[in-house]
Amino acid sequence: MKSINKFISTHVMQVAMISIAFYFSSAVLTGCSSGNSGDAANDASSGNLMKDAENAKDDGLGIGPVKHVDIPAEIDSKMADAGKALFEAKCTACHKWQKEKYVGPGLMGVTQRRKPEWIMNQILNPAEMTQKDPTAKQLLATYLTQMTNQNVAEPDARSIYEYFRKMDKEGTSASK
């Protein structure tokens, strides 16, 4: 009788301990997913709630100094030429004007899939973008390389955008 009692009480203890352990481990998990660490590994495991929250607040403008930019209908070809020179000097180590990836994504069509503000913020503020912007985060997860900050001035980022816009409008593949 004694040993049965002992067995039961040990068993009850074990169940209790397992429940406590489970309670704490789920508390730790919840703690991770509600943190603002921006850590890609944490965020990947944090489930759909977090993703939904991010998508809800994502305005597609990206994160950085550019909040709003006016793009006139007419392309400024002088600006686009300046942008082309900057692109060739600072970006072609990782990007080509093509659909296929190089080190980073192929940029052909980029002005159709992203807003001008987003593109300029990615150029000016790539590290914060890949930490906090849902789209840039996805790109980092896909390309597994962090785009470097190429020390581009804001007006130069605007010129590069003008070059992209011209290329996408013409639909040309310069493969540079």
Least distance CB 171 / ligand HEC (angstroms) = 17
Q: Are 82 and 159 in contact (CB under 8 A)?
A: yes
Shortest Cβ 134–ligand HEC spacing (Å): 12
Total count of residues recorded for the chain: 176
Site map for ligand HEC, 76-95, x if CB under 6 A?
Answer: -----------x--xx-xxx
167 binds ligand HEC (CB under 6 A): no
CB environment 122-157: b (16+ within 10 A), e (fewer): bbbbbebbbbbbebbbebbeebeeebeebebeeebb
Which residues from 126-165 bind ligand HEC, rule CB under 6 A? Answer: 126, 130, 136, 139-140, 143, 145-148, 150, 152, 160
Q: Which stretch binds ligand HEC (CB under 6 A): 1-9, 12-20, 29-37, 100-108?
A: 100-108
Note whether 105 binds ligand HEC by CB under 6 A.
yes
| Pairwise CA distance, residues 154 & 137, whole Å | 22
In angstroms, rounded to a whole number, what is the distance separating the alpha carbons of residues 34 and 42?
10
Report, in Å, the least distance between residue 39 CB and ligand HEC.
15
